[in-house]
Amino acid sequence: MNHKNETKDNILSVAMKLFSEYGYEKTSVRMIAEAANITKPAVYYYFPDKESLYNGLIEHGMEQAINSLKEIADNKKPVKEQLIDVVFSRFNSFPDHPDVRRFISKIMTGEMNCQINLNMKNIFNKSKKELIKILDEGIKAGFLRHDFNKKQFIYCFIGAINIHSRDHFVLGEPKISKDEATELVDTLLIGILKK
């Protein structure tokens, strides 16, 4: 990793810690710069304002999630195992990082009072593309029916993962277990399994 990327990653890491601890309104660019041991102009070099930095954090997390999804879709495991891996990736993308957990929790509960300016349709379409790739492989392998509505399945699948995520990040419930992830996938697959 080059120095430029290290600096940007450091800014993002420090900003996440401060936003999660103090909230959006009480965190200043000056605080972020001081905690990152850089100047305010250095922060502004990467992010023109605090809102851009905040959105950069969200975008960075989404990019990591999509890259993880691509890796899962590109491996050659059976479809059921890939879907279980997708569930686990949501919880293991940031293992045991309290700052990330607190940041996500505050976003999900609305404690972070800042407008997120991301193209969520584009992000969802990238995720959907990778999930469709997994489903298509399941159809091709003869594991799944070919006549189900993939978009509806994906909505149900992502919705179920989001509920478990909310329970984990907001309510403090434990991460989903392998058995629970398998049960979730099994429950959703029952309707689309090839008989």
- Domain annotation covers residue 114: yes
- Domain annotation covers residue 24: no
Contacts of 62 (CB under 8 A, 6+ apart): 118, 123
Which domain CATH number covers 140?
1.10.357
- Give the pLDDT confidence of 35-54 residue by residue, as tens digits: 999 999 999 999 999 988 98
Domain limits for position 103: 51-189
Judge if pTM exceeds 0.85: no
Count how many domains the chain has.
Answer: 1
- Domain annotation covers residue 22: no
∠ Cα 166 158 154 (to 5°): 170
| Tokens 């099994």 -> residue | 186
- Backbone φ and ψ for 158, nearest 5 degrees, come out as -65, -40
- Domain annotation covers residue 28: no
- Give the pLDDT confidence of 137-186 residue by residue, as tens digits: 999 999 999 999 999 999 999 888 888 877 877 777 888 888 989 998 99
